[in-house]
Amino acid sequence: MDKGTKNALLYTAGVAAVYLGYKYYKKKQGELQKPNEPTPETKTTATSPTFEGAAAIYANKVKKLQGLLNVSQVGGIGPITVAALSKKGITYKVDASNIDKAISDVANYKTNLTSPTYVAAINLGGNVRFVKDINAPNFVLNRATNSYVPTGSSLSFKAGTLLGKGWKAVDRKNGKILIYKGATLQEIPISAIVII
């Protein structure tokens, strides 16, 4: 075999190898670009509560709470429910973690309490929790007349404020009480507090 024929055969073999390599490359590239065939899914049963199930349970508990509050039972907590909760002394945010506590607190809330009942509860060591913001006028005892006189100043209490032990109270007989822990007394409406 002469040199020219040998070179022609080598050239032809090289071209054939490049062509076959190119075809192999294109075949592999096509496989990568082809969408995967869907595989049949296997159905599994849940062994724990689903999110939808938990949401339904929560919504039912909210409806129960709303029923106790005598508001529309829609299953979601909005401004009407929050206002009704506030009237029952509940100032904490109600969510899935404490819905059962809120239901219990509303169910056990005492209605039609009178100021003497509040005074007795405070004087027996109950803690005062404010359910709404108030600006309480300050009073002092005038020992000469044995009456309470306003000082002209006031003390602000925010909703959710909790007064600890040691506070005492005096009945004002007009739906208000005077609370004190020292010489100055603050006049507050009983509708602004709960005793815990």
The pLDDT value given to residue 26: 74
Q: Is the residue at 136 inside a domain?
A: yes
Clarify whether residues 171 and 138 are in a common domain.
Answer: yes
Q: Is the residue at 41 inside a domain?
A: no
Q: Is the residue at 3 inside a domain?
A: no
The pLDDT value given to residue 113: 63
How big is the CA angle at 134 (ends 65 and 130), to the nearest 5 degrees?
A: 40
Q: Is the residue at 97 inside a domain?
A: yes
Clarify whether residues 94 and 155 are in a common domain.
Answer: no
Q: What are phi and psi of 135, to 5 degrees?
A: -115, 100
How many CB atoms are located within 10 Å of the residue 169 CB? 24
Clarify whether residues 119 and 191 are in a common domain.
Answer: yes
Clarify whether residues 131 and 187 are in a common domain.
Answer: yes
- How many distinct structural domains can be found in the chain? 2
How many CB atoms are located within 10 Å of the residue 47 CB? 5
Clarify whether residues 154 and 131 are in a common domain.
Answer: yes
Chunked into runs of 10 residues, the chain (196 residues) has average pLDDT values of 73 76 74 52 49 82 88 90 82 89 79 74 89 94 93 94 90 88 92 87
The pLDDT value given to residue 69: 85
Q: Is the residue at 23 inside a domain?
A: no
The pLDDT value given to residue 3: 76
Clarify whether residues 137 and 65 are in a common domain.
Answer: no
Q: Is the residue at 45 inside a domain?
A: no
CA atoms within 13 A on the CB side of 187: 17
Q: Give which of 52, 53, 73 is closest to 63, Cα–Cα.
A: 73
Burial of 188 (0-12, 13-18, 19+ CB in 10 A): buried
pTM summary value: 0.44
Clarify whether residues 172 and 139 are in a common domain.
Answer: yes
Q: Is the residue at 14 inside a domain?
A: no
What digits encode the pLDDT tens for the residues 115-163? 788 888 888 888 899 999 999 999 999 999 999 999 999 999 999 999 9
Q: Is the residue at 30 inside a domain?
A: no
Helix (H, G, I), strand (E, B) or coil at 142: strand
Domain extent, residue 157, equals 115-195
